[in-house]
Amino acid sequence: MPIFIYIIFVFLFAYAILINYYLVSWNSIPIFNINPSDPQNNQTRISIIVPARNEEKNISGCLKALLRQSYPAELIEILVVNDHSTDETETIVRNFNNARIQLINLHEHMEGLISSSYKKKAIEIAISRSSGEFIITTDSDCIAPPNWIQCMVNLYSRKQAAFIAAPVKIIEDGSLLSVFQTLDFITLQGITGASVYKKIYSMCNGANLGYEKKAFFAVEGFKGIDSIASGDDMLLMHKIFKKFPSRVFFLKSADAIVSTRPVNSWKSFLQQRIRWASKADQYDDHRIFGTLMFVYIFNFLLLAVLLAGFWDVHWFIYFLILILVKAIAEFPFVYTAAGFFGQEKLMAYFFFLQPLHILYTVIVGFLGKFVRYEWKNRKLN
Give the pLDDT of residue 303: 92
Give the pLDDT of residue 129: 93
Give the pLDDT of residue 252: 97
Q: Rounded CA gap, 249 and 212, in Å?
A: 12
Give the pLDDT of residue 269: 85
Contact in structure between 262 and 181 (CB atoms under 8 Å): yes
User: Long-range contact list for 72-77, CB < 8 A, 24+ apart?
Assistant: 72/42, 73/100, 75/42, 75/43, 75/44, 75/45, 75/46, 76/45, 76/46, 76/48, 76/100, 76/149, 77/45, 77/46, 77/47, 77/48, 77/102, 77/130, 77/131, 77/132
Give the pLDDT of residue 4: 79
Selection from 166, 175, 111, 99 nearest residue 139 by Cα: 166
Give the pLDDT of residue 118: 82
Predicted model pTM? 0.90
- Which are the contacts of 99, defined by CB distance < 8 A and separation ≥ 6? none
So where are the chain's domains?
A: 31-166+204-262
Selection from 161, 210, 157 nearest residue 39 by Cα: 157
pLDDT-based confidence at residue 130 (cuts at 50, 70, 90): very high
pLDDT-based confidence at residue 367 (cuts at 50, 70, 90): confident
Q: Rounded CA gap, 242 and 180, in Å?
A: 34
Half-sphere exposure of 5 toward its Cβ, with a 13 Å CA cutoff?
15
Q: Which pLDDT tens digit goes with each residue over 232-275?
A: 788 899 999 999 999 999 999 999 999 999 988 888 888 888 87
> Is pLDDT of 375 > 80?
no
Give the pLDDT of residue 6: 84
pLDDT-based confidence at residue 119 (cuts at 50, 70, 90): confident
Q: Which pLDDT tens digit goes with each residue over 200-230?
A: 888 899 999 999 999 999 999 888 877 676 6
Q: Rounded CA gap, 86 and 122, in Å?
A: 16
Contact in structure between 252 and 198 (CB atoms under 8 Å): no
Q: Rounded CA gap, 223 and 61, in Å?
A: 33
- The mean pLDDT of 321-329, rounded to a whole number, is 95
Give the pLDDT of residue 193: 96
- The mean pLDDT of 64-92, rounded to a whole number, is 94
- Which are the contacts of 179, defined by CB distance < 8 A and separation ≥ 6? 172, 346, 349, 353
> Is pLDDT of 322 > 80?
yes
Half-sphere exposure of 163 toward its Cβ, with a 13 Å CA cutoff?
30
Q: Which residues pair with 380 in a beta bridge?
A: 373
Structural domain 31-166+204-262, CATH architecture: Alpha-Beta Complex (3.90)
Give the pLDDT of residue 201: 83
